[in-house]
């Protein structure tokens, strides 16, 4: 065990959040709750990236008074990567929700076990 667990508390919280989302994916049978679990995992990733870019005592990378020294601003790259993550997560969530709507109109249930039982009863 290293010494930096308490210094890295933000990352620790993001790891725990990630695992909570993953447990949701494994244990919930309701499709909507599974999607919520995946969104919790996404949020954990954003938190992790934001923590990566942070440097203590520095400000957001918006140039004030033409100061362009690297000592003044935090790392801008993780902020850009969070943006990519958010866009992809929005698209994936919309896609999964629309698939859920299709499944519901076909099987009239959101329970994944129920759906697979119905499928096997039909002999597919």
| Residue labelled with tokens 């004030």 | 64
Tokens encoding 38: 């995946």
Within positions 52 to 81, which residues make up the interface with other proteins, using CB under 8 A?
52-57, 60-63, 66, 68-70, 72-73, 75-80
Do the Cβ atoms of 5 and 42 come closer than 8 Å?
no
Within positions 33 to 52, which residues make up the interface with other proteins, using CB under 8 A?
51-52
Query: Any contact of residue 30 with other proteins (CB under 8 A)?
Result: no
Residues contacting residue 118 through CB under 8 Å, at least 6 positions apart: 107, 109
Q: How far is the CB of 47 from other proteins (least distance, A)?
A: 12
Q: How far is the CB of 22 from other proteins (least distance, A)?
A: 6
Please give the DSSP secondary-structure letter assigned to residue 29. Answer: -
Do the Cβ atoms of 51 and 10 come closer than 8 Å?
yes
Among 32, 98, 106, 108, binds other proteins (CB under 8 A): 98
Tokens encoding 123: 């002999």
Alpha-carbon distance 103 to 108, whole Å?
Answer: 8
Q: Which residues bind other proteins (CB under 8 A)?
A: 1-5, 7-12, 15-16, 18-20, 22-23, 26-27, 51-57, 60-63, 66, 68-70, 72-73, 75-80, 83-84, 86-88, 90-92, 94-95, 97-99, 101-102, 113, 117, 120-121, 123
């Amino acid at each position: 065990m290293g010494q930096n667990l308490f210094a890295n508390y933000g990352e620790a919280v993001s790891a725990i959040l990630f695992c909570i989302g993953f447990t949701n994916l494994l244990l919930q049978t309701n499709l909507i709750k599974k999607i919520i679990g995946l969104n919790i995992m996404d949020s954990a990733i954003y938190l992790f990236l934001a923590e990566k870019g942070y440097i203590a005592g520095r400000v957001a990378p918006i140039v004030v008074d033409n100061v362009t020294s690297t000592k003044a601003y935090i790392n801008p790259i993780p902020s850009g990567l969070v943006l990519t993550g958010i866009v992809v997560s929005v698209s994936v969530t919309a896609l999964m929700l629309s698939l859920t709507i299709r499944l519901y109109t076909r099987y009239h249930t959101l329970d994944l076990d129920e759906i697979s039982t119905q499928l096997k009863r039909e002999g597919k």
